[in-house]
């Protein structure tokens, strides 16, 4: 699946990933390839990206690598998943 993480300042990540886990209002949930379309509010927590993630040097300090997982802390935001593309609009 394709993932984009966007903040008001810039696009922090865009690329292919195995899956992504996000902190939804009702709790954390994960999306894999070909997930059903969804729009969800996100709360304070961590976006967990699974797979081989290559970050731009200019934004690498905003992420934490932990084995096969790359984490990004958010205060809130919105997620849209459609046509195998997930977009996280993060605060």
Q: For the chain, give every domain's residue range.
A: 2-90
Distance CA 27, CA 43 (A): 9
- The set of residues, in sequence order, having a beta carbon less than 8 Å from that of 55 and lying 6+ positions away, is 13, 63, 70
Residue 9 · residue 2 · CB < 8 Å:
no
Do residues 89 and 11 lie in contact, with contact meaning Cβ atoms separated by under 8 Å? Answer: no
Query: What pLDDT does residue 7 have?
Result: 94
Query: Sorting pLDDT into bands at 50, 70 and 90, what band is 67?
Result: confident
Q: Is 84 helix (H, G, I), strand (E, B) or coil?
A: coil
pTM for this predicted structure:
0.92
The predicted pLDDT at position 23 comes to 97
CATH number of 2-90: 2.60.15.10
Confidence of residue 50 (pLDDT cuts 50, 70, 90): very high
User: Which percentage of the chain shows pLDDT scores above 70?
Assistant: 100
Q: Does the CA dihedral 1-26-79-71 come out positive or negative?
A: negative
């Amino acid at each position: 699946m394709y993932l984009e993480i966007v903040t008001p300042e810039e696009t922090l990540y865009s690329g292919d990933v195995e899956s992504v886990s996000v902190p939804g209002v009702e709790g954390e949930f994960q999306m894999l390839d070909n997930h059903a379309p969804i729009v969800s509010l996100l709360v304070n927590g961590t976006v967990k990206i699974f797979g081989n993630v290559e970050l731009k040097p200019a934004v690498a300090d905003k992420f934490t690598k932990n084995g096969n997982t790359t984490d990004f802390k958010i205060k809130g935001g919105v997620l849209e998943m459609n046509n195998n593309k997930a977009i996280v609009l993060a605060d």
